[in-house]
Structure 1
Amino acid sequence: MSDVLHASPLGKNSDYKSEYDPSLLFPIERRDKRKELGIDPDNLPFYGRDLWYGYELSWLNLSGKPVVRVARFELPCSSPCLIESKSFKLYLNSFNQSRFASAEQVADCIARDLSAAAKAPVAVRLYTIDEFEARAFEPAPGINIDEADVIVDCYRYDPTLLARSSTGNKSAADDGLVSETLNTHLLKSNCPVTGQPDWGTLVVSYCGEQIDHASLLKYVCSFRDHQEFHEQCVERAFVDLQKHYRFKELTVYAQYLRRGGLDINPWRSTSDSKPGALRLIRQ
């Protein structure tokens, strides 16, 4: 994996091309990291998608007039490859001085290129600024656990920080299973090459054995110095929670802040129901 990452544009001075160039996209195989996490790449334990928003997309119409859009990209988690974010940024910037007849032509072009890089169909939608402004910010769903009174002294990833709840809100029905949604805004991880910080909100929704809120918060804080891509952090959290607790249902997703004009929102779940597209205040 390290050799692959060092071949990417991450951490290097890059020429910003302003003419359309799909070769700038740099795909990274998901398989090796998933094997490290004990995930069978050919039999995933979850459904999901990686939802990206691109805020720096512009091109020229046939008259040479600039057009701007906010883009949404949806990659299935079953795609063999994810797309490295700096290469994605460079690719989107390559549209700047290129002429296209319509927004539909641009969307079709991007969908074709991303699908080829991810090796799976990628859905693309382009919003006008007015359309995107109409999408209100939403609160993070569920119970926020950030005010839990905990001592945090571990900032390197440590799954042993997870602990079972000795007490809690036990449902009288369904053999004591608990259904709840938890969120924390304290998620921070780092780029595996440059070390740049990635900030986000983590949401855990489940039905099953109750998660101890304080230990979950300490666990999330242990990602603070952890170096891994957004998608991999979410899959790691999903796997760790499944190993430690007994669930009937589990959903884990993160809403990361934008960096380089892109935000990434990975979603993994035991349910194949299609999630809504949230937009939180820090995004």
Structure 2
Amino acid sequence: MSQDRPGTLVDAPLGRESAYPERYDAALLFPIERAANRVPLGIEASSLPFVGGDEWWAFELSWLDPRGKPVVAVARFRLPADSPCLIESKSWKLYLNGFNQTTFAGRDAVIELLQRDLSVAAGAPVTVELFGVDDAALAPAPLPGECIDDLDVAIDRYTPAPGLLACDESDIVEETLHSHLLKSNCPVTGQPDWGSVLIAYRGPRLDRAALLRYIVSYRQHQDFHEHCVEHIFVDLMARCRPQKLLVMARYVRRGGLDINPWRATPGWTPELPARLLRQ
């Protein structure tokens, strides 16, 4: 699949047996248009109701220096939410694996190539940072705000149910809540995607028990990480109409990659939390 021609999941390497390459090949990247999953949510590309991005971390990145010695690094990639395409995760893993036996003059050459290829695939500029495996930037920290996971609630809905959400319009607050009970499933393989979700907002006070039931309702839902976050954002805006909203998920690593999408109301550039210990 050409990088400038987005495909569909029917053509994606996800869920298929794949030979892992040992040489660099940009053609392995498989872009998928975001629009197909946004249309059912009423999201139009020309007027996105949010700003945001997708932060990817890669923990299985290695290449050879000019003398044949392996170099290892951890990479952080940032894709803008308004890019026309996301990049299918297995194709990304295959692409990165192709660096293993490829020689580079240095880290700058690796960053330059990654930024070029990923930007072409996403259809928008992608930023790349490389870290040493002991870099302080990798240190974990807890999510800010209050955890709602210990609420004593009965739950019987395991597919997205926005009708569960409730708020008190007479009580305007600004607070940050989070839960570690987010789980969705790969839209192709059905494999579980475990994550934590942070919701920061200013507006009518959210009913916390209702919010927890709603978060858990994604437990049997099959979708990409990015679209789950957008679904949550759209539902909260529609049901509770906050003046300011941030939804961020930190998903657990699978195959050496973890994905951390965030969406916020336009005009707000939130300070994003650090990595979690479970990641």
Alignment pair present for 1:209 and 2:212: no
The residue aligned with 1:190 is 185
| Aligned residue type for 1:7 | D
Tell me which amino acid in the other structure corresponds to 1:126. L
Q: Distance in 2 between matches of 1:223 and 1:130?
A: 35
Match of 1:145 in 2: 148
Letter in 2 for 1:235: E
Spell out, residue by residue over 1:87-109, the C-alpha distance to the aligned partner (whole angstroms, 9 max, x if none): 00000000000000001100110
Output one character per residue of 1:60-104: Cα deviation in whole Å (capped at 9) or x when no partner: 011010000000000000100001100000000000000000011
For residue 208 of structure 1, give the secondary structure of its aligned residue in structure 2: strand
- Unmatched runs of 5 consecutive residues or more in structure 2: 1-6
* Counterparts of 2:102 and 2:137, CA distance in 1: 28
Question: Structure 1's 180 and 35: CA in aligned 2 closer, same or farther, altered over 3 A?
Answer: same
State the alpha-carbon separation in 2 of the partners of residues 254 and 119 from structure 1: 23
RMSD: 1.4
* Other-structure match for 2:11: 7
Paired position in structure 2 for 1:173: none
Conserved? CA contact 2:143–2:273, under 8 Å: no
- Tell which deviates more after alignment, 150-159 or 256-265: 150-159
- Cα separation, 1, equivalents of 2:94 and 2:28: 7
Counterpart-to-counterpart distance in 2, 1:256 and 1:16: 24
| Residue identity opposite 1:275 in structure 2 | E
Give the secondary-structure state (helix, strand or coil) at the position aligned to 2:90: helix
Counterpart AA for 2:174: S
Paired with 2:150 and 2:272, the residues of 1 have a C-alpha distance of 27
Identity of aligned residues (%): 55
Q: Is the 8 A contact 1:6 1:193 kept in 2?
A: no
Residue 241 (str. 1) matches residue 236 (str. 2):
yes
Contact 1:50/1:75, CA 8 A, preserved across alignment: yes
Provide the rounded CA distance (Å) in 2 between the counterparts of 1:200 and 1:191: 13
In structure 2, C-alpha distance between the alignment counterparts of 1:134 and 1:52, rounded to whole Å: 14
SS in 2 for 1:217: helix
Gaps of 5+ in 1: 171-175
Instruction: Look up the equivalent residue of 1:147 and give its one-letter code.
Output: D
Contact 1:156 1:226 in 2 (8 A): yes
> Residue in 2 aligned with 1:281?
277
SS in 2 for 1:234: helix
1:262 to 257, 260, 265: 257
**Following TM superposition, by how much is the alpha carbon of 1:136 offset from its aligned partner in structure 2, in angstroms?**
2.3
Counterpart CA distance in 2 for 1:149 and 1:57 is: 42
Which residue identity does 1:150 align to in structure 2? Answer: V
Alignment of 1:165-180 (within 5 A): 165=168, 176-180=171-175
Listed as ranges, the matches of 1:1-283 within 5 Å are 4-131=8-135, 133=136, 135-165=138-168, 176-270=171-265, 271-273=267-269, 275-276=271-272, 278-283=274-279
Count of aligned pairs between the two proteins:
272
State how far apart, in whole Å, the 2-side matches of 1:117 and 1:47 are.
20
* 1:6 CA drift (Å): 1.6
Partners of 1:153 and 1:129 in 2: how far apart? Answer: 42
- SS of the aligned residue for 1:28 comes to strand
Q: Compute the TM-score of the two structures, normalised by the length of structure 2.
A: 0.95
| One-letter code aligned to 2:155 | V
